[in-house]
Amino acid sequence: MTIGAIKEELQQREGISVQQQRLLFRGQNLNDQTTIETAHIQAGEVLHMVLALRAGF
């Protein structure tokens, strides 16, 4: 599964647009083409989501 696919799932479940999401793992920003396997993300580990705010709020 790619990070982009995870972002799409979050958009469907939580209504947060993919463009606003930034996913981090161990302090590193994950790009959309990265897979959970290549990022060495194991079951039970935590991804952090940061929202990118639009200018003008």
DSSP code for 52: -
38 CB-near residues (< 8 Å, 6+ apart)? none
Q: Which domain holds residue 34?
A: 3-51
Tokens of 16: 């947060």
| C-alpha–C-alpha distance, residues 54 and 57, integer Å | 6
Contact 2, 39 (CB under 8 A): no
pLDDT exceeds 70 at position 57: no
Domain count, the chain: 1
pLDDT tens, 3-54?
Answer: 999 999 999 999 999 999 999 999 999 999 999 999 999 999 999 999 987 7
Residue 57 lies in a domain: no
pLDDT for 5 equals 99
* CATH number of the domain bearing residue 43: 3.10.20.90
Report the C-alpha gap between 41 and 17 in whole angstroms.
23
Residue at 15: amino acid letter: G
**Does residue 55 have a pLDDT over 80?**
no
